[in-house]
Amino acid sequence: MRRLDLNEHLEDFLIHLRDVRRMSPNTLRAYRSDLAAFLAWLPSEVSIPDRLDVRRYLVELQDQELKTSSIQRKLASLRAFFRHLRDHGILATDPARLVKGPKAGKRIPRFLTVPQVDALLNQPFPDTTNGLRDRAILEFLYSTGCRVSEATTLPLRYLDLHSGSVRVLGKGRKERIAMLGRAACRAIQAYLPARQEVLVNTQSRDPGVLFLNRFGRGLSARWIFQVVLEHARRANIPERLTPHGLRHSFATHLLDRGADLRAVQELLGHARLVTTEIYTHVSMARLREVYDKAHPQGADA
């Protein structure tokens, strides 16, 4: 039997992900890497991979002591690829459909306490272009719960400071509405004249995004990571804080104050509720701590 040329179909699949599903270049690179590794591993005598081949591959990945999350990602790539081939009549069955990956323990996301967030946002910022911008970045991330990629690409025209809301293009170019608190609106309003001054001084064409570097171009994700890390250090926050840590804090604090889980899912832009449910474990852990300290029959009684 002539071996199916999966490499040829891989290219078609990646084009589908780019043009139809509108996936980002980083996501496409991950798919290409995962699938190319499997095709390189596949024995040459195999004409069409089956379920046993997929299972053997996962076992070898586990023997290499890869992280469970990495193996699960590679399996997800295989499932998407084979499902695409089946749906287009290239394969009769999907060899990865019923294959289960290794179970991962639920990892509790790191987040700041409310006093830590207060210390981060209420620290003194210099009255300079960078100082005004950095305060606006931190207020924006905590107020909206946005991903760093969403913050770097946010069009200025999507802001509505009057209503305190912003349109956000999330993963898969799915649009949602995020909320801006009063402090975030004030910080952004204070930053906008400085943003305009950067464009005038550099004689740059306005790129249209909210946060700019000193050259008048859109700020990179790496730079926002540095902004968050530096100001967390200045606020004496012991954890190595990342922009995603502010997103975790946003979700946790909402749930701690009684927000509906589906509302938080909508604000975060999660496609599935199960992704948001990780934050209920955080809240329950804190409730347990309060209970143990306060209840007459708690752990500290």
Rounded Cα gap, residues 219 and 213, in angstroms: 5
Indicate the pLDDT class of residue 108, thresholds 50, 70 and 90. low
Contact call for residues 91 and 85 (beta carbons, < 8 A)? yes
Average model confidence (pLDDT) across the chain: 86
Active site residue 162: no
Spatial neighbors of 42 by CB under 8 A, at least 6 apart, are 6, 49, 53, 57
Active site residue 147: yes
Pick the catalytic residue: 133, 135, 147, 253? 147
Sign of the dihedral through C-alpha 235, 240, 243, 247 = negative
Question: What pLDDT, on the 0 to 100 scale, is given for residue 88?
Answer: 87
Active site residue 295: no
Active site residue 279: yes
Per-residue pLDDT tens over the stretch 38-74: 888 888 777 788 888 888 888 888 777 778 888 888 8
Per-residue pLDDT tens over the stretch 219-276: 999 999 999 999 999 999 987 899 999 999 999 999 888 888 889 999 998 888 878 8
Query: Does the pLDDT of residue 2 top 50, yes or no?
Result: no
Per-residue pLDDT tens over the stretch 164-188: 999 998 887 789 999 999 999 999 9
Active site residue 270: yes
Pick the catalytic residue: 16, 171, 176, 186? 171
Domains of the chain: 6-87 (1.10.150.130), 114-292 (1.10.443.10)
Question: What pLDDT, on the 0 to 100 scale, is given for residue 299?
Answer: 58
- Cα torsion 206, 208, 156, 228 to 10°: value is -90
Pick the catalytic residue: 231, 247, 248, 253? 247
Q: Lay out the sheet containing 165-169: strands in order across.
A: 159-160, 165-169, 175-179
